[in-house]
Amino acid sequence: MVSVLNPYLLLGISPQASRDEIEEAYANLAQRFTVEDDHKKQNQAHIQQIQAAYALLTQTDGGPGQSIALPEIGLSLNTTLSKNSVISLPEPQIVYVLVNVLTEINREAYEPSSKPINLTLVIDQSYSMLGTGIEQAKLFGTKLVDELTETDIFSLISINEEATLLTSPTANIVKGEMKDRISRITAFGATELSSGLSLALQQNRLFQHKNFNNIVVLVTDGNTFEDHDSCIELGKQAFENTVTLVIVTAGTEANYTFLKKLNPYRQDMVLSLDNFEAVWDKMQRFIREPSPFIRNLMMWVALDKGYELESVFQLEPIGRDIDFQSEHIHIGASNSGLIRILLQLRIPPALTIGTHKAVRIYVSGEIDIGEVVAAEGLAEIELAAKQEKDIAEPPSIILDALSKLTLYRLQQKAQDALQPSTGNLEANTFRDSAESYLGLLEHFRQIGETELAESLKPASPPKSVVYYQTRLLVASSDDE
């Protein structure tokens, strides 16, 4: 059975709509998204959602809009097109749609309460932290203990070549004893962060519950060896288990490149103790005023006749390709309250002059902000076809998104080339080039994505060449 939260949203009508308006909206949508072929599975699924909304409104006792409680929380979809208008051409064209999924809360009707925290603190006590690093870590840890309340759960772990559980998860801790325990930590030995992260997730899981703000705080310089892949996998596990991983860097030579890979979903939570007061202020606000957590997010992209969806790429919280061939697109979760998706659409040839409905985007999921509630959102995309060419540049936010997508594709190709070769001279040559190119990509990342986006803008057209090359760069491997 299809579940519907807000039937008015799905039908695109006002809650005050009459029976005739409901009938008309349903008929128009059913006609728009009916398809004769089977490959547009999301159109078929969306029609079922529209039918469920129509049934809910027409079968409600007391008439339309009389007995339906509308949700106070929703998902807002902000969309930006690479171009709002195209010239009508005899061949298909490509348009990109950037979709920002945000939480939308009626604060007057819904005031989320602050949750107690289930906090696991992990302090790196390896030799590379000796001096400034370990002193910063201990100061930060003792201040964190001062913020705990009687209802909070706290556990403490130290790591060097192995992980040591100094304090099991405990409520209503004796703060003086805990701060004394932290103050006696000394730096020595090698580093194996993966063992510390694994133990931290294990201990945090003992009290993991939706009524807690589950947090693992790792204080480290990130200088671990031979376990990078294991650490990154543990970072993904934390995210999938609704645990917020906060990385606080200490010392003078932190490995920021690795630490951002370790926490790709919340790179705003990779904090440096070089500015202790700023970090501490952010941590205090984050712990007691957490951002809305979006989870179990699904997306349906219903296409008008002639339009095709060619790719779906997630920009935030982590860059990745997303499968879109099933009845829905599984987006997943974000503990920042924001998810950014880039859609690549193929426009049908020979569009008639005028404005056309192109695609309908519907999302459904859950928002956790003190309690878990279901939420949904919808956006309609229109495109204008003109006789004269639109000379406007794509919005900078689209150029930035395309730069991220292009870097991701190039990095994928370089990583593929680094796989063990068969001894073929040409393959080995390309593998060597790929190693150099990965270094170049890292240099681009250090320059900054915004500057890179600017550098991708054509200094002087022809635009057709630039767009054609961009089309090649973002093409999937099946197209090559």
| Domain end call among 260, 288, 316 | 288
- Are residues 175 and 270 located together in one domain of the fold? yes
- Are residues 277 and 203 located together in one domain of the fold? yes
Residue 127 token pair: 């030799």
Residue 367 belongs to domain spanning: 72-105+295-391
pLDDT at 294: 82
pLDDT at 105: 62
- Are residues 55 and 197 located together in one domain of the fold? no
Give me the half-sphere count of Cα atoms (radius 13 Å) on the Cβ side of residue 19. Answer: 7
Please, which contacts does 226-229 make with residues 24 or more away whose CB atoms are closer than 8 Å?
A: 227/192, 227/193, 227/194, 227/195, 228/258, 228/261
User: Which SS3 state, helix, strand or coil, does residue 376 take?
Assistant: strand
- Are residues 58 and 98 located together in one domain of the fold? no
Average pLDDT over residues 256-265: 78
Q: Above 70 in pLDDT, residue 463?
A: no
- Are residues 267 and 124 located together in one domain of the fold? yes
Task: Please provide the average confidence, as pLDDT, over all residues in the chain.
Answer: 80
- Are residues 84 and 66 located together in one domain of the fold? no
| Domain end call among 255, 288, 321 | 288
| Domain end call among 366, 391, 416 | 391
pLDDT at 295: 77
The domain that contains 181 carries what CATH number? Answer: 3.40.50.410
111 within some domain: no
- CA-closest candidate to residue 122, choices 296, 291, 259: 259
Contacts of 13 (CB under 8 A, 6+ apart): 21, 22, 25
- Are residues 126 and 248 located together in one domain of the fold? yes
299 within some domain: yes
The domain that contains 352 carries what CATH number? Answer: 2.60.40.3670
310 within some domain: yes
Helix-strand-coil percent breakdown of the chain, rounded to 5? 40, 30, 35
Q: Above 80 in pLDDT, residue 431?
A: no
112 within some domain: no
Contacts of 75 (CB under 8 A, 6+ apart): 101, 102, 103, 104, 294, 297, 363, 364, 365, 367, 375, 376, 377
User: How many domains does the chain contain in total?
Assistant: 4
pLDDT tens for each residue of 350-389: 999 999 999 999 999 888 766 778 889 999 999 998 887 6
110 within some domain: no
- Are residues 319 and 378 located together in one domain of the fold? yes
Task: Specify the DSSP element, H or E, that contains 391.
Answer: none
Burial state string for 331-344 with b = 16 or more CB within 10 A and e = fewer than 16: bbbbbbbbbbbbbb
Give me the half-sphere count of Cα atoms (radius 13 Å) on the Cβ side of residue 8. Answer: 15
pLDDT tens for each residue of 199-248: 999 999 998 776 788 889 999 999 888 888 899 889 888 877 778 888 99
Cα–Cα dist 267/386, whole Å: 42
pLDDT tens for each residue of 328-354: 898 877 766 788 999 999 999 999 999
